[in-house]
Structure 1
Amino acid sequence: MRARVNNFDCLCSDTVEFENCVVTCNVIRTELSEHSGYFKTLFKHHLNGRKVILPEFLSPGFQSVLDYIRNGETDISSMNVYDIVIAADYLLIARLKQDCAHFINNQLENDPSTALRLWIKFRQLFWPELGHRALLKVLANFQEASQSADFLSLSLEDLVTLLENDQLNIAEEYSLLDVIARWVAHNPKANVTELLLNLRLDSLSPEELHKLRNNPLVRTQPVYSQFLEMWPVAMPTQQISQLQINRMHSSRNPQEVLIVFGGWCSEEGPGAAVQVFNAKSNVWNVCPSSLSISQMPKRVYASAVLMGSRVFLIGGFDGTRVVKSTLCYDFSRDSGWVYKSYMYEKRYFVSATECNGVIYALGGHNGEAQGRLSSAEKYIAKDNQWQLIACMNKVRSDASAVSVDGRVYVIGGFDGRTYDDSTECYDPATDHWTILTRMSTARGGLSCVVHEGLIYAIGGNDGFRRLKSIEKYNPETNSWEYFQNMNKAKSNFSSVVIDNTIYNIGGWSDESEVGIMDQVERIDIKSKKISSVDSLHFPASATCVCILRDIDLVDKYVNCQPTMDHNVNNNLPARYRDRSNGDTRRNIRAIIRNRHVDFVYDVPQGRRRRPRRSRRRSREIANTLE
């Protein structure tokens, strides 16, 4: 490339030099004017001179600019992109600047370890979009960023900016103490208390709080130590403001949010409410009518698939009939639910998953006698079109589907007579299904998730009873092995993975109190520890779920207020609604108490009444729909 550049020297009409620098470049005036707004204006008024002197800071990136102007391209790398951006920005070469932005965005997406360096560099430029994007990547990958060499070189102000941010992604708040200690060891003269004040104390367990009080680094800070002794009733002081105390009481925003759609709600059948779970604060909310997502039609035994910012609800039962519809909601637009192309088959008890940007709907039941299906179809979102694919080797309803490494896996199910222990794999390249190793137990109404390339088959029904057991499958070895037992046997529930933790939501159990559950159980995949979290607002089985991971959208949905109007109130099961006759306008407010939501409304006389809350559980009647 250099040889090609040097061939222009004989045509060069001008020389570019740099202040306080011996570097010179021979240039062609017309060439620079064509591509650079800066040189176009300069040469328009600088007619006689043959020498142009530029600021010294443009020198490192100027040769890359010349390569780009003369050859239409230049080598952009993590080592030179900052210098090229400075030169392209100063010289008004918009296309080159956009190429650099594209490179940086790809680098942030594929190599988050570079985000910290890019944030430090690009926030100094007048390019807030890139600086903000780099900051979000640092916050989302803070554990990785804190291990880099660049981290120890952060200023105190930079580190405080990160630690105080609500979007800081950290699995355990207490682990920030180790991060602070490592930075302080490299910056011993820093104000340690200013860093410690950014710990969210309400997110610490009693054991962690005790360890914090006795930590050697903390004990060297008398102001903070005294404050900790008074926590959680500590008051503001000259050194610690009320704003900082309020922050300590709050939890950090999640990087992802769990969204539950519809489900079978006790004796009332299919529901339409949308429930949102914040795993950081362990709180469920029902989406208010201010978000059009709350106006979804009733659905049960459907499947939810997220692609980009859009969620697709595939098939299901609406309380009257089995449907073949595809419902779509765009989180980024909040413009309501839209009906997309219909499937070839009506399907409920359907399994669906996304693979390589394509949605696959597998098996299910069409609502007719002997209506369980082996057929499968795929949805091309850009064309809004369903296409039939090869049928599965077995008839399957009540199965579960996932995708791993470009292949679709469907696991378990029910054929109308027996529950299945088999697994099939679909290769989109060959349109062919392959039977794989069997599970140790037949499972219908199970739920499957993927974590680090392994498939987890959870619970279900073996034809005799609901199951507690979880098995995991390794696609590389084509083998199943036992993983762990849940606390409670269940089927027809939903499962997702957040932060190395499996969440099992609602479902139907035949243990203890038989019926539909509102309980949510989580399993730490690394330690296999099982615990319970805040329950659903109301018991529900046969829900479908998705995980929204777009940080720009998560805050909008995770912080939706529990206050509800009449429309959302009607989406809830009757026992959780306001039971007023509707003759008088009322102000409805949601009060969260333990596992339940009570709707309290104010009547004109100022008298408050609360609907009675039944504890009775009813039998699930989904199996009678056939």
Structure 2
Amino acid sequence: MDYSSSGKMLVSVKKQRRSIVLTPALIASANNPMCDAAQNSIVRNNLRRQTLSRMFEAVDSGLLTSDVKRGFLEFASTTDLSYVTGARQLKTLCGHAVQVPAFSGEGAQQLPPSTVGSVCPVHSLLMAESSSFFDALIKYSRNSNLQLPYGECGFLKQEINEILNAMINGEDAIAVREDNCVDLYQAADYLLYQDLRVKTLDYIKEQCTRNLSLALDIWAFSEVYYLPELNGLAFDQIIRSFPRAIQESLWPQLEFDMVHRLLSHPGINCSSELAVLDAALRWLDVDWPKRSAHGESLLSCVRLGLMNTRELGVLMQHEMLSRFPSLLALLKSFPNVPPNLLDVYRRNSDNLAFASTPREPHEAVMLFGGWCQEFGPRAACQVFNPRANTWTMWSPNASRPSNDIGQVERRVYSGCLVVNDVLHLIGGFDGERALNTVSCYNLKTQAGWYEGSCMIYKRYYVCCASIGSQMFAIGGHSGETQDRCGGRLDSVEKTSVDDNSWLPVSSMRTVRSDAGAAALNGRIYVAGGFNGQQYHDTAEVYDPATDQWSFISRMNFCRGGVSLVAMGNTLYAIGGNDGQSRLAVVEAYQHESEGWVFSGRLRRQKSNLSTAVLEGGIMVMGGWSDQPTVGILSTVEKFNPTADGATEQLADLSYAASATSACTIAGRELIKRYLGNQLLRASNPWHVAASPAAAGEAAAPEEINSEPEGSTDTHFIQSSQDADLLS
């Protein structure tokens, strides 16, 4: 607020059908009570009693900014207000300071020397403004010397100096550190000091993300003292980073009930149950004589039904498993498990389905639209669950009344970006015309699809990337065929989630449709594409700071219909068409000095595919192939750059499609909204799935996911005898 601005009325506060005018002089005085000239200005203006009384009503009503309010209260406490109506009440509120015993410590040097080890006079209105606890205490206390319960609340004794300093000088005056963050949070929570509570909570959340040892420590501490907010925050971070958390030195020091509760939790973020086995054995091995009684319970947290033959072999060969003959016998007799051995799981698990129910994923992939051999552009969304290795189909005719993610329009060759939990489908082709529209869907509110601002140009075969809240639409085809490039574009435009329009930026150095784009280290990279006459092996980079495009090293292959993916500090060019055939080779770009290098091969040659980064790998979905036969693909594979470019076969799409668009969504609770009963579906020997009719679902063919080819080599097959046994 500009306190020096001219004008009669800065704030009008309506109260009891009357209003007051806060003049610039009054607000300047309130903001700076130490300014004698400003105070004299108020005296010279001879403010009426009623006006000043209304000023206090404005303060109480919360219509002033915190700085103006704080300044006015300071001014009021140092000014003779005896002529004001209701002066006795005003004196009670702002005419004295409340004395709180202060303690020496790290925060003491930030207070006046006279307060250290004695009492700290803090203005009562400043305390009441900051803390609802003090607000109530001051109103109903006749004593100006407040005694806090230091004996019962040690965190108050440790942090009161910094708390008082924050009340005097604002929250920015307090230093939140790893060694005091929990005590400050408890003090702020106890004193109902909301601004400081939020500040410390944000700090703790950020630190727990980086420091899993701190997360474990806070989780254990909040189990002893009832701090549900801290408990949930730390626990969520532990299950999100489970494989790393169990390597911390604090892990074996946790109590059994905490370890058991964690290992049983469905939200553990691990791609293999071997991580759960490792966590249990590390905890048991620290003090085997005392902890051996808990061994059977902890090992029963390992969901055997989710383990493949290799993982089960690792489990059976583990030295410590020999100490549990009942579990070892269960594994050796698998899948023909005698009833008496199943009692091991019955008494340690709520039900046998626990042993086979997939864990809840923290990441999932959404795939939109696609060109189908029979239907052309498809109006549908598919969601991949990496824990169950299944696809959930959402389409306009799907029986999912609680979710309208499937109401997406027909769209192919479009871009797909998720920014601030809002999904954007950019441009594309609907089977009849090129599109400049942007369809948006808020993943959290689930309020349905809505139209965002339209692009300047129609674009399909478009590639897109985002940096922060900015989104870029790059190249593509306008649908016009009369210009020199047959409708293909070199233009680029951008928008922000906070803007309502697209703006042009510098054009690429080359006309490109069917290119790939990705953002890395604050810059946009584009590779490959087609200009109407030839396929490109060139690549270029855009720097938003200079609004300039520059060429980088050429790829080893020409690639149209290529996907460019950024993962870690590396770019990967996947698939594409070199003008003669589709490509299976993957090449990577990390440094200009190294250029593009071979990184691996896909299982099939393909172009016009979709990719998404998922759990340390790159999912490659659908596309068009000419090997061994020409056609649209339903196959899905996961490319792992860290494993010498190896690929893993995943469940097929619900329908074969090329020219799709895909994105990764994150957040366990968010993802559960879009997976439906796929959280309970997996190919495993322990789980007996209910029929669609029993589950109350329509058995539409497009919503039934078949087992991926080759899955019998990965999972055990349950006999009918075992099915009867488990039911």
The two structures share one fold, judged by TM-score above 0.5: yes
- Residue 222 of structure 1 and its aligned partner are, at CA, apart by 3.0
Q: Which residue of 2 aligns with 1:479?
A: 595
Is residue 2:158 matched to residue 1:60?
yes
Q: Alignment partner for residue 356 of structure 1, among 442, 464, 468?
A: 468
> 5 Å matches for 1:26-105?
26-28=119-121, 30-31=123-124, 32=127, 35-44=130-139, 46-47=141-142, 50=145, 52=147, 54-56=149-151, 57=154, 58-72=156-170, 73-105=173-205
- Residue 504 of structure 1 and its aligned partner are, at CA, apart by 0.9
Is residue 2:338 matched to residue 1:237?
no
Q: Which residue of 2 aligns with 1:624?
A: none
Distance 2:500 2:404 in 1: 22
CA gap of 1:321–1:113, structure 2 versus 1, over 3 A, is: farther
Three-state SS of the structure 2 residue aligned to 1:267 is coil
Q: Which residue of 1 aligns with 2:6?
A: none
Q: Percent identity?
A: 33
Give the TM-score, by structure 2 length: 0.73
Three-state SS of the structure 1 residue aligned to 2:346 is coil
Three-state SS of the structure 2 residue aligned to 1:323 is strand
Q: Which residue of 1 aligns with 2:66?
A: none
> 5 Å matches for 1:129-144?
129-144=229-244
Three-state SS of the structure 2 residue aligned to 1:166 is coil
Q: Which residue of 1 aligns with 2:517?
A: 401
Distance 2:332 2:373 in 1: 48
Q: Which runs of 5+ in 1 are unaligned?
A: 1-10, 564-585, 597-626
**RMSD in angstroms over aligned alpha carbons?**
2.5
| Residues 17, 53 of structure 1: 8 Å contact kept | no
- Partner deviation per Cα, 1:305-357 (whole Å, 9 max, x = no partner): 11121110010000111110011111111111111111111100000011122
Q: Which residue of 2 aligns with 1:5?
A: none
> 5 Å matches for 1:242-253?
243-253=350-360
Structure with higher Rg: it is: 2
CA gap of 1:244–1:223, structure 2 versus 1, over 3 A, is: farther
| Residues 212, 248 of structure 2: 8 Å contact kept | no
- Residue 177 of structure 1 and its aligned partner are, at CA, apart by 2.2
Q: Alignment partner for residue 442 of structure 1, among 545, 552, 558?
A: 558
- Residue 105 of structure 1 and its aligned partner are, at CA, apart by 2.9
Q: Which residue of 1 aligns with 2:388?
A: 281
> 5 Å matches for 1:177-576?
177-188=277-288, 189-190=290-291, 191-232=294-335, 234=337, 235=339, 236-237=342-343, 240-241=346-347, 243-287=350-394, 288=398, 289-290=400-401, 291-369=403-481, 370-475=486-591, 477=593, 479-527=595-643, 528-559=645-676
Q: Which has the larger displacement, 175-184 or 546-555?
A: 175-184
Amino acid at match of 2:573: A
More helix by share: 2
Q: Which has the larger displacement, 37-46 or 481-490?
A: 37-46
Q: Which residue of 1 aligns with 2:707?
A: 594
| Residues 364, 372 of structure 1: 8 Å contact kept | yes
| Residues 363, 374 of structure 1: 8 Å contact kept | yes
Q: Alignment partner for residue 145 of structure 1, among 245, 254, 270?
A: 245
- Residue 448 of structure 1 and its aligned partner are, at CA, apart by 1.5
Distance 2:351 2:118 in 1: 54
CA gap of 1:45–1:277, structure 2 versus 1, over 3 A, is: closer
Amino acid at match of 1:154: L
Distance 1:147 1:238 in 2: 28
Three-state SS of the structure 1 residue aligned to 2:524 is strand
Give the TM-score, by structure 1 length: 0.84
Distance 2:129 2:550 in 1: 59
- Residue 172 of structure 1 and its aligned partner are, at CA, apart by 2.3
- Residue 12 of structure 1 and its aligned partner are, at CA, apart by 8.0
Q: Which has the larger displacement, 178-187 or 106-115?
A: 106-115
Amino acid at match of 1:52: Q
Matched residue pairs, number? 560
| Residues 570, 590 of structure 2: 8 Å contact kept | yes
- Residue 283 of structure 1 and its aligned partner are, at CA, apart by 0.7
Amino acid at match of 1:296: V
Q: Which has the larger displacement, 154-163 or 460-469?
A: 154-163
CA gap of 1:226–1:42, structure 2 versus 1, over 3 A, is: same
Three-state SS of the structure 1 residue aligned to 2:161 is helix
Amino acid at match of 1:215: H
